[in-house]
A and B are shown apart, each in its own frame.
Chain A
């Protein structure tokens, strides 16, 4: 099976920048997606196709890709950004996989 790797946690002060990485061998060839999940809620798509932002998602959320690593950046972090963040991608046969998730704590 195909694995994605994320750091378990990231801590950031309000107004600072949080960066969450996701690594996987197939990321150079497959799109990556990022989801935010607040406690007790369904996930929300915040970045699609590596770096595109769905309508309604604040501009402080951005995505980038370099080699086997994709990065979700939250600029000017706000208290409401405290959540779990999951990266997701696919293998060549439309089988999808999630990373283990990163808990973002706003200090």
Chain B
């Protein structure tokens, strides 16, 4: 079965960086993309960007452009999200999800990773 398992919670200071991993299994990694979405406490879903599982092509949301890097490791079928120059308003649950295929939407999701930015 398709699974996306994310790394554990992180606490970071303002200005620091965080790297969240998303280990996938149960499907051919290079056939789909991975997208990242975050949700601040009590707020809605916010799309951050996506990365192709085959080519590594990325498309980032304008609001995090310049601070975000999405990568993949096809040998371990793992995707990564790195966010730099963290601010307090980056505190959120970060989700990875599978993108593409016949469905075309975000059909399988990770469990989420809580990132807290606090001095």
Measuring CB to CB, which residues of chain A are less than 8 angstroms from any residue of chain B? 1, 31, 33, 35, 37, 42-45, 48-49, 52, 54, 84, 86, 88, 93-101
Whether the Cβ atoms of B107 and A45 lie closer than 8 Å is yes
A68 to B2: give the CA distance in the assembly, Å: 34
11 A-B pairs, CB-CB below 8 angstroms? A33-B105, A33-B106, A35-B106, A37-B45, A44-B109, A45-B106, A45-B107, A95-B47, A96-B35, A96-B50, A100-B44
Measuring CB to CB, which residues of chain B are less than 8 angstroms from any residue of chain A? 35, 37, 44-47, 50, 59, 61-62, 95, 97, 103-107, 109-112
Whether the Cβ atoms of B107 and A35 lie closer than 8 Å is no
**B35 contacts which chain A residues (CB < 8 A)?**
96
A93 to B58: give the CA distance in the assembly, Å: 12
Q: Which of A31, A43, A93, A94 contacts B106 (CB 8 A)?
A: A43
Task: Tally the A-B contacts, defined by beta carbons under 8 Å.
Answer: 61
Whether the Cβ atoms of A35 and B45 lie closer than 8 Å is yes
Whether the Cβ atoms of B46 and A42 lie closer than 8 Å is no
Whether the Cβ atoms of A86 and B44 lie closer than 8 Å is yes
Q: Residue on A with the closest CB to B4?
A: A42
